Structure 1
Amino acid sequence: MKQIQILEVTDCGIEEIVGREEGVEEIVKFVFPNLTFIILNSLAKLKTFFAGVHSLQCKSLKTIDFFGCPKIELFKAEPLRQQESTINDKLNISTYLPLFMIEEVFNTVETLIMSSKYFDMILHSQYSGIQFNKVKYIGVTECYNEEATFPCWFLKNVPNLESILIGLSSSREIFPGEQLISTEKETQIIPRLKELNCRYMYNIQCICKEGLQMDPILQLLERINVHCCSSLVKFVPSSVTFNYLTYLEVTECNGLINLITYSTAKSLVKLTTMKIEMCNWLEDIVNGKEEDDETKYKIEFCSLKSLELISLPRLCVFSSCPCLIMFPLLEDVVVKECPRMEYFSLGVINTIDVQHIQIDEENHWEGDLNRTIKKMFDDKVAFNKLNCLALSDYPELKDLWYGQLNHNMFCNLKSLVVQKCDFLSHVLLPSNVMQALHGLEELEVTDCDSLEAVFDVKEMEEGSVEISFNFPQLNTLVLYLLTNLETFYRGKHALECPSLKIFNVYRCEALRMFSFTHLDFQQPYAAGRNPIIPQQVLFSIEKINEEKAEENIIFENLEYLELSSLSSFRSFCYGKQAFIFPSFLRFFVDGCPQMKIFSSGVTVAPYLTRIIVEEGKMRWKGDLNTTIEQLFIEQEISHSNVE
């Protein structure tokens, strides 16, 4: 093992790296002269390197990546005294020692990723004032103190530090409001910090505050990567400049409305790559509202070669500054899933090398950036590439939705969410939309009072022939608070959902479902009673006729079924067919007072062992039908006692 260079252990349940043999009492020395990388991630049960008194020597160690290991100590301040270790050993005390001593780590390590607990240990130890000349990369994670910051004074102790990572943090700020530099002498030891990474900082609102004395540090940054900072509402104040920045990436920061100001944009003379992705509220990249229009002459991105704007549903324009914007070296422009982007800039654009805008494998070009973006906007090109659509956010789609739809529109849509959508008619999905949604995986419809049917396929009927509509990828279907929904679809058609795993219906009192009838849809009569309204097939696994009425019906992938607040619901199916649910695991029933039985036929659900009822209570009486019958009887008895 002395030749080992990399030790990486992740995502497992071990408690020790090296197991202890019985009878071993002396101090064990582990020497790994060639070990340069040690990576311990997501080891919830790990307690120690070795369950006994030991020392660990790794004189060539360059990288420590330590994350998600709550039971093991990373650092210790000094070696365990021989007397203490002997006493512990004689008393048979299980000694779980930290991995390293602080001074040994900083003598060799260049990259150190650790939780804030150990970073605080360094800051408050006797070594806090020592210069750690080897360290180039520090990552601090798992900080759950909102007031915690990366102290500016510590930067003077790591003169060769190039990169900082702050991740999985509740901190409201990265750097505290303190002055870093006070004398000329101290200016000479400012580290040349090149890279700043912020990931999963849930409470941070700005990378740095207005007037914070971090400008000398920030101005030297070459790379900034910000990911999943949901509370970030302002990237940096307008006073901050990035004269050396070459790479900027901002992803999944849903609090941002504007990215940078005119003055900050003017400083980006060395920026070569900009990537902005999945920021749901972002309206523009360069915003000029904070400066006087008279001072805005031009912005020149002298070095920018690659620009990516991806999945920005509210982005209207790259630059809202009414000034000349120049891209002398721009070559690659990628614009995807930006359906509201109507223009590239409100000012004049000067480009030389741009010849197209890329959307996946397709290229678009109309002579210049503004005309190309405008043509893409008019043609609704962005909707062709959307994976997720919240229909309520796009009232401008009303005419297309119920009118003539391009056959490529929504062809890549995986998730459709419809919530309080005011422009809907009585039908959610007309036939022209249905034909474009064969790749749909999730459909969620909530609180739409006008809806009477989800699908309307009457116009596609051909006499009495039943047509099947196949949604092979649909795995989740949610219908919630649809008070006027009467039917799932209109017409003599069947819906096939072979991949359905989750089906949730809640507060859809007018909906009648899960019943099979003959293909002629003649109204069956009950002796001595009023005609029964014919039921439709919600899931047509197969056309049901007299010859096939005895065949089994299999819901191959259905895992979860919830029936809630259905005041008229009586049964999953009135027919005699046998239902087989080979994957059925969870069934929730609440507020279905008329449900006497699950199905009149045989029901096979080998993995279902309980039914969840109101308030999370569990019930089971041997099988599904018997349990439902018992629940109905208990409910009737309860009502009788109340009366």
Structure 2
Amino acid sequence: MKTFCRGILSTPKLQKISYEGMEVENKGNDLNKAIQGLYKKKNQDISLDLKLLTLKDVNSTKICYNRHPTSFYQNLTHLILWKCGNIKYVFPSSIAKSLHQLQQLKIQNCKVLEEIVAKEGASAVVDFVFPNITLLKLEDLPKLTVFYPGIYTLEMPKLKELEVRYCTKYLSFTENNAETECATLDPKSIFLNNVINFNLEVFKLYDGVTNICWQSQFETLRIDKDTSTNIPLRLLQRFENVRELRLVSNQYKDIKSPYDLLNLEDLYVYFHNRLTSLVPFLVFSQNLKVLTVSSCNRLMKLITPLVAKSLVQLRELSISSCEMLTEIVEIEGDATNTGIAFDNLSKLSLKHLESLTCFCSRNYSINFPSLEEVIINECPNMKTFSQGTLSTPKLHNVKYHWKWVDTGENNLNTIIQQKHKNEVGSFWKKMTLSGRDIMTILQGEFQENFVEIETLQLIKDDYAYIPIHIFKKFINLEKLILKVSSYEEIFSNKEGEEHVETLSKLKDLILQGLSNLNCIWKQNFQFKSILQNLHSLNVTYCDSLMTLLPPSSTFKSLTILAVKHCNGMQNLMTSSTAKSLIVQSYGKDFHPHGSKLHTRMMSLPSLTKSVQHGQQIGAKRLQYIVSRLEVEIDVIFLTGGYNVIQ
């Protein structure tokens, strides 16, 4: 097209003209003259010093670089592609190798773009060097798979900002099949396998779920919603100078580092429901000053004596909302060293830790020479701070359950013991026993009966099952909570029949954090009516439990069943148990509407597979919401037929 028309032309409001990917302003209100100039510019051998090229809403399938010699583009500093709906690549390799002055490359919202650089011929290894590029931004490129389809090397020594968003095929947040090995964040393009600047000022990756952000100004690395089993080690290696690391809502089972993070000072770990231990990571963080952990409900191990020894620079320790954490410093086996020192710790905060019984349960001497502030809020089962000698020479005030307490002549142990005793007295129908307390009752040291207790909580019991006869002192027990204990089964045949009636009034049973639990009772258990009056059963974080309700069990009163975060759960119940829920509620001629069992389920990956294979509980209305991480069943109406799981 050489001109627009031969006659008189008037376009008083026309401001811009886009012609074959080139944009100009309509100066002089002469469209014919503008098009003639653009045609001449396109077809002549131009030696124009082109520095900025912006292509927007281009409908052609490729950019016609061959209209000009390669030298035409050698001074290009900025290249922007936006909403080019049919373009499949940005430039051929011959053009890419000439862009030595390129400083910024932005490609956004190009829906069919498959590669940045297209392959030309059957070349072996292609070397791409962009010596001056400082910014690379790729956004909303759903078809992008590779930077270059062949074998290549890439150098961007001056790159300062790298941002990749909504390029789901380009980014590969992959998890190694062997969960014992470390997963890697492995974008297939340029980010970890090629030579780019290690001193990036801004680094952002977002695939629609996982978000990774590095800010050099604050030396902060944040990783959100990574579905890998382990933290991406190669990413940590690239940002080894990280000062602050924030991990939020990831699926890591543990966090480890094979090398020292010498610059890491602040570590924040939030909302990690699969995380069980921080020990492997903290050992390599000897310069850590601030450690904050919150809402890690599977976390059972935080600090060991070895970790405490390495955290010589720790100033602040804040732990909150970790349901399974029973103590802060855990000592396993027969440790030879009997002393721990936190030389620089000045602030300790423990909040909303339902299972916490103490800071350290062993008879260790603990020294806090710099500790000035202690905050303990909503830790209802914390009866003392430590069992051994405690030294806090600079501690004068303790904030206990939102109120400041002057220590005076009392040490931290005395304050917590007194406050806990006062609070327990105000909740006289509820009692919590830890392993040491349970042993005392079993040995007969308590002669009194606890007839007023209606709710009993057992924490950190090392027995393989519950000795039923312990409940003969709790004849009015209605609610039993079992947390973070070593039970392999709840009830055993080793108990005598005379103790079975002790749980006749039990209405609510909560099982939480019983990682060794295989069953509530075994098939040969003789007293299957022991829970016949149970109204609700709540089970969380019991990963070894495969079938929830035992076979041939009587649960005729059960109306609420909640199961969450049990990775090994395969079957909800056996057919005989399902029959008992129906027949024993209504007899053989049960009501046509059936019994109503309110069921809530979440994060049961093994059960999800059973449901997807078509096995289901016979139901009038059964609503499944199934995803990789969650199964939720709102209400089960048990009616005719007993086609149940298992």
TM range (shorter): 0.3 to 0.5
TM-score scaled by structure 1?
Answer: 0.47
Q: TM-score, normalised by structure 2?
A: 0.47
